[in-house]
Amino acid sequence: MRASRSLIFLLPVISGALVLTPLIATGGDARFPTTRTDLNPKDRRRVEAVTKFTTDFTKPEQFEPMAGGAATSRAIVNGDAFSHFSANLSFEEEQTFKLGNALFKKLWVPPPSSTQASDGLGPLFNARACQSCHLKDGRGHPPEGSADATSMFLRLARPARTEDERKAVADHRKLNFPDSVYGEQLQNLAVQGLKIEGKMQVSYQEIPVTLAGGEIAHLRKPTYSATDLGYGPLESDVTRSPRVAPPMIGLGLIQAIHEADILAKADPADQDGDGISGKPALTRDHRTGDLKLGRFGFKAQNATIRDQSSSAFVGDLGISTPDHPSDYGDCTKAEVECLAHPTGVQPRLGAFEAPDPVLPLVTFYSENLAVPARRDVGDKTVLKGKELFYRSGCTACHTPKFVTRRDAGNKAHAFQLIWPYSDFLLHDMGEGLADGQQVGVADGREWRTQPLWGIGLTETVNGHTFFLHDGRARNLTEAILWHGGEAQMARDAFAALPKDERAALITFLESL
């Protein structure tokens, strides 16, 4: 407890110091701007002032209810809470959003079909629509006893084996290497007449954990396997990383956070000695090959929403786009039966199964789902819980607020005070959460800090409270108790709180 108490006093000082000494903070990486290039000195000072961590927990902060700035949705809270467009879109943009929405929901069909514009699914796939996994624009869930693992899958990858491969990873040209037969993920569905690759199986073991005051919580430790393999065994050094579809809200705003603000929190070698490093994910833009800061996906492996979306088209649905022209999706050369199936390319419509403007429309949609307004920001228990969240050291990774860049491509995302509660950096989360899979600069124990905005509406939107990258946590308390590694101190601080204070911290999370 003592250690965590000192954190709150340290943190504002630390982040202030990092801004002043950006070279130390980023490990001297000269490839990215270390100060905000979009602001004049006066605005920079304003931004620094408004994003400073609060020390007053007696009342809400200014603009705190508007978690997504002017883009925040103030719609009545119901099951559609994650499906509204950003409140500050223009009328024309609303129309584009709606076209993108239709494509996000669209059920693709295998070729050849009579509904030619929907052709292209597969031959191997994990779902028929984006929305099948990003249920109601919210999160997926583990199978929970049913055979339906639709909103979740196993990513397959092996580390570099040769000097050349190691160089490719070091140079960020490759994140890792696919299984030579199964490719980058295990597809549990296939078009008619083709064998599926296999099924993800999970079994759980209950582990009791004693919290302060004697309360006993139970964590369920998952074990994953790939069964019913259709094409022989996986390669022996291939790891299986389980991933549940995350919520889709506020992504355009995350994309509009300035690199310098994310890098200012990075401390890969833990030079400030607070036990928390924070590594920036470096990755290449799929279209330009430029080195960028990764932000999307559980290992921050994608720099842009467009890259994440085109990867989803090809990997999850088996649909080619101009950015990923593979009509056979994730089929590999070894899967000859797969490559013998027809593709859904209609030369009349374009050279890809999903020709433009499909990808730009889906990307626009994915960039503009609104973050819902906070509830109960002034409630006494919520404020108490907020104080405990800060005091327990959660803010060392779950950075409360940012001001997005003034020169953001989309005006609706520009210069907004936003409250994502993430630093968008990679952290070692300990053995308990480790998937053993290296993805670019992220090693097998590292994960990107998950944003917490909207987390309190998970049950309202998705009817469950399964959290973390694989949905193993059955509620918020379990999600916190799984934190280890760099987050061990914060986890222990939480576990050491008296029961009513733990409950207050959870009530704060539920108001996000």
Residue 166, CB half-sphere, CA atoms under 13 Å: how many? Answer: 3
243 near ligand HEC (CB under 6 A):
yes
Nearer to ligand HEC, 26 or 450 (CB): 450
Per CB under 6 A, the list member of 26, 34, 101, 132 interacting with ligand HEC is 132
Binding residues for ligand HEC restricted to 108-127, rule: CB under 6 A: 126-127
457 near ligand HEC (CB under 6 A):
no
DSSP 296-355: BSTT--BSSHHHHHHHHIIIII---BTTB--TTTT--TT-HHHHTSPP---TTT-SSSS-
Tokens encoding 307? 């890259």
What values do phi and psi take at 215, rounded to 5? -65, 140
Binding residues for ligand HEC restricted to 386-405, rule: CB under 6 A: 389, 392-394, 396-398
Q: How far is the CB of 16 from ligand HEC (least distance, A)?
A: 19
Tokens encoding 369? 């789902």
Strand pairing of 417-418 and 426-428? unpaired
The closest of 364, 407, 86, 398 to 250, measured between CA atoms, is 86
Residue 193: is it exposed, middle or buried by C-beta count within 10 angstroms (0-12/13-18/19+)? Answer: exposed
The 148-187 contact track toward ligand HEC, x by CB under 6 A, reads ---x-x-x--------------------------------
309 near ligand HEC (CB under 6 A):
yes
Tell me the number of residues near ligand HEC by CB under 6 A: 54
The 320-359 contact track toward ligand HEC, x by CB under 6 A, reads ----------------------------------------
Residue 312, CB half-sphere, CA atoms under 13 Å: how many? Answer: 28
- Of the candidate spans 91-99, 284-292, 345-353, 461-469, the one that interacts with ligand HEC by CB under 6 A turns out to be 461-469
The closest of 189, 94, 78, 187 to 136, measured between CA atoms, is 78
130 near ligand HEC (CB under 6 A):
yes
Instruction: Please give the single-letter amino acid code of residue 38.
Output: D
Task: Classify the phi-psi angles of 23: left when phi > 0, otherwise alpha if psi is within -120 to 50, otherwise beta.
Answer: alpha
Nearer to ligand HEC, 87 or 245 (CB): 245
| 499-510 and 488-495 helices, crossing angle to 10° | 120
Per CB under 6 A, the list member of 97, 182, 313, 328 interacting with ligand HEC is 313
Nearer to ligand HEC, 19 or 452 (CB): 452
Q: How far is the CB of 107 from ligand HEC (least distance, A)?
A: 11
134 near ligand HEC (CB under 6 A):
yes
Task: Classify the phi-psi angles of 312: left when phi > 0, otherwise alpha if psi is within -120 to 50, otherwise beta.
Answer: alpha
Binding-site ranges for ligand HEC (CB under 6 A): 126-127, 130, 132-134, 151, 153, 155, 243-246, 251, 276, 296-298, 305, 308-309, 312-313, 316-317, 362, 366, 389, 392-394, 396-398, 427, 429, 433, 447, 449-450, 452, 455, 467-469, 476, 479-480, 483, 486-487, 490, 494, 509
